[in-house]
A and B are shown apart, each in its own frame.
Chain A
Amino acid sequence: MIGRLLASRGRNLTRREALECYLFISPVCVGLLAFTIGPILASLYFSFTEYNIIRAPKWVGLGKFHDLIQDELFWQSLKVTSLYVVMHLPLSLVLALGIALLMNQKVRGIIFFRTVYYLPSVVSGVAVALLWMWIFNPEFGILNTLLALVNIQGPAWLFDEHWSLPAIALMSLWGVGGSMLIYLAGLQGIPSELYEAAEIDGASRWRRFWFITLPLLSTVILFNLVMGLIASFQEFTPAYVMTSGGPNFSTLFYNYYLYENAFEYLYMGYASAMAWVLLVIVLILTLLVFKSSPMWVFYQERQKE
């Protein structure tokens, strides 16, 4: 009797619990439908249409994708963005790890250094772009002034089509503190006994790094790699603020070209097709990274109580 009562009560509770759960997550579910999944499907539809907001969308099938393939600027923007990823991503991953290793040393005043290294990464966006435009100024900027001190004639940076993209990649390294901090959190989670044991066994510093630090940090590297990949494909502000995609389209970032099409020429169908191409590229690259991860990512066996 009591057992049955408890059981029915239990069932009621579960049903009630489920209802409450749905209520708690409902605002986010509404957002997911209205601002994410709905728009994704809508942009897929728009990518098969000609649409300028003012007139109703006109179905053109694969027409916009066909236009894309023939658009030299589309290929240029893809090339610029890929080059940027290749310049920026490996360099920033390695640099961030290097700094994190230094930061992980137990020396006095480390918190001060951590703050200094971290701060540039919290101020991104327009102000940073404006500052670096001034730093890169060929005649009066600080960078070429410093280079002149060691007798190097600096290039025209943002005004030179060969140096504009490397300049933006260089600027991005200033904000490496964000991933540095994520590495640091990972480093501090590695038990120090492992290092002590290895030291007793006579393992050299290099071997300790190679056989303890790197494997135990590989999930963090994976995280930084995937997030960095997604973020670099969306770079926009430097192109808009510093170069307008120039000179000679050398900094025509994919996202900037998409913005021009969508919001300057109102080619909504064309821009949607670009957005979907980007989505597929990012998806494939992310999948490749994840697929390759068993070869280089070391997953600790999770301990369960």
Chain B
Amino acid sequence: MSVAQGTSRTTARRLEHFLTYLLLATGGVVICIPFFWMISTSLKQQMDVYLFPPQWIPEPVQWDNYRQVMTFWPFWTYVGNSVFVSVGSIVGKLIASSLAAYGFARLRARGRDVIFVILLSTMMLPSQVTLIPQFILFSKLRWIDTFKPLVVPAFFLGPFYVFLLRQFFMTISFELEDAARMDGCNSLQVFYRVILPLSMPALAIVAIFEFRGRWNDFLEPLIFLNSPSKRTLALALQFFQGSEGVLPQLHLLMAASFLSMVPLLVLFTVAQKRFIQGIVFTGIKG
């Protein structure tokens, strides 16, 4: 009796595993179709793009499309611009948010917690409320059509990262800090000799988040940049689409779009585990 029950239970478990796999695999295929369609289109000959029924596997495979995107279109200029803006922002946000997080997490001062709550509540603001005055400010400063509006504010902003790093810094034991102070370290030294080296995983998460945000950002480059040579990759893709006679070039547009996704796809596949830790650290699970 109990053996029979046991067997039926294992069969049930097996069936359950099988169903889980089936659902996951079906969903996985559905999710991959857009990627597949993009890559497939990007490797087609121009005349094969508009075929009915569509070709699933390109025949012949046109690797040359990628060479064309990289040579006939100032692809590397745009990549350079995107990298510059992203790296600048990452550096700025890392410095500003880690300094502030240390202050909020480990140093006591009157009014500190009030400021922290105000800072956090700004995360909920729709960005449109600040965008117009920022634009006016930057145009008065003659910063329009430079990278400054995209990079300089990063050295002073980042409420979400302050929150995330503060959560992390609070888990570091005070004994280490006290020992360093006994040895004559001041707060700044404690910060970069004790706290920062122990916080590399959290800092990496900040860098990854910010990279994704900047790399994908469209609205701000659209508003703040004018010259074609200053366009970021995302902005340039939009103008590629809008440029005349683009319809026959859909294979190239898809190749360019895919290339623009590659850094993020690689980064997030590699850093996935760390990224999940980041979500746990924010402590939102209550």
- Interchain nearest-CB distance for A86 vs B (Å): 18
Asked whether any CB of chain B lies closer than 8 Å to the CB of A203, the reply is no
Report the count of interface residues on A (CB-CB < 8 A): 95
A189 near B130 with CB under 8 A, answer no
Q: Which residues from 42 to 85 on chain A have a C-beta closer than 8 Å to any C-beta of chain B?
A: 42-43, 46, 53
Binds B, one of A1-9, A117-125, A151-159: A117-125
Report the minimum CB–CB distance from A247 to chain B (whole Å): 18
Chain A: CB-nearest residue to B16 = A105
The distance from the CB of B149 to the nearest CB of chain A, in whole angstroms, is: 10
Let me know if B126 and A115 touch, CB within 8 A. Answer: no
Which of B57-65, B66-74, B234-242 has 4 or more CB atoms under 8 Å from chain A?
Answer: B234-242
Let me know if B137 and A174 touch, CB within 8 A: no
Verify A32–B285 contact, CB threshold 8 A.
no
Interfacial chain A residues near B276, Cβ < 8 Å? 181, 184-185
**CB neighbours of A116 from chain B (8 A):** 28, 31-32
In the complex, residue of chain B having the shortest beta-carbon distance to the beta carbon of A242 = B241
> When the two chains form their complex, are residues A21 and B107 in contact, meaning their CB atoms are under 8 A apart?
yes
A31 with B156: CB separation less than 8 A: yes
Which B residues lie within 8 Å of A19 (CB)?
Answer: 109
The verdict on A17 contacting B130 (CB below 8 Å), with A28-B97, A125-B216, A142-B33 known, is no
A230 located at the interface, meaning its Cβ lies under 8 Å from any Cβ of chain B in the complex: yes
Partner of A134, one of B103, B254, B260: B254
Nearest neighbor of A261 in chain B, beta-carbon distance: B132
Given A122-B212, A123-B216, A268-B132: A31 touches B269 (CB 8 Å cut-off): no
Known: A28-B158, A31-B156. A118 touches B124 (CB 8 A): no
Q: Is the CB of A17 within 8 A of B108?
A: yes
* Chain A nearest Cβ from B246, distance in angstroms: 10
Residue of A nearest to B191 (CB): A24
Q: Is the beta-carbon distance between B23 and A31 smaller than 8 angstroms?
A: no
Q: Which A residues touch B222, using CB under 8 A?
A: 240
B204 at the interface (CB under 8 A from A): no
Please give, as numbers and ranges, the residues of chain B lying within 8 Å of A22 by CB-CB distance.
103, 109
A276 touches B219 (CB 8 A): no
Q: Which of B107, B216, B264, B286 has the most CB of A within 10 A?
A: B286
- B193 CB within 8 Å of chain A: no
Alpha-carbon distance A125/B71, docked complex (angstroms): 24
- Asked whether B205 is an interface residue with its Cβ less than 8 Å from the other chain, the reply is no
Distance from B47 Cβ to chain A, minimum over Cβ atoms (Å): 12
Q: Which of B41, B126, B153, B285 contacts A35 (CB 8 A)?
A: B153
- A118–B119 Cα gap in the complex (Å)? 29
Q: Does A214 sit at the interface, judged by CB under 8 A?
A: no
Which of A107, A146, A230, A259 interacts with B124 by CB under 8 Å? Answer: A230
Contact status A258-B128, CB under 8 Å: yes
The distance in angstroms between the C-alpha atoms of A255 and B237, with both chains bound, is 21
In the complex, are the beta carbons of B28 and A220 less than 8 A apart?
A: no
Tell me the nearest residue of chain B to A142, going by C-beta.
B37
B260–A286 CB distance below 8 A: no
A150 to B244, CA, bound (A): 36
**B261 touching A127, Cβ below 8 Å:** yes
* Given contacts A140-B49, A241-B238, A21 and B109 within 8 Å (CB-CB): yes
Given contacts A35-B134, A126-B257, 17 further A-B contacts (CB under 8 A): A18-B108, A18-B110, A20-B187, A28-B119, A28-B159, A39-B133, A40-B125, A53-B136, A105-B20, A122-B212, A125-B234, A134-B250, A140-B50, A185-B280, A186-B285, A236-B218, A262-B132
Can you give 20 contacting A-B residue pairs, CB < 8 Å? A17-B107, A21-B109, A22-B103, A32-B115, A34-B156, A40-B130, A43-B132, A107-B21, A113-B28, A117-B28, A122-B268, A123-B261, A126-B238, A130-B254, A234-B126, A237-B219, A274-B128, A275-B126, A278-B129, A279-B129
Which residues of B are interface residues toward A (Cβ below 8 A)? Answer: 17, 20-21, 23-24, 27-28, 31-35, 37-38, 41, 49-54, 95-97, 99-100, 102-104, 107-110, 112, 115, 118-119, 122, 124-137, 139, 153, 155-159, 162, 186-187, 191, 212, 216-219, 222-223, 234-235, 237-238, 241, 250, 253-254, 257-258, 260-261, 264-265, 268-269, 272, 275-276, 279-280, 284-286
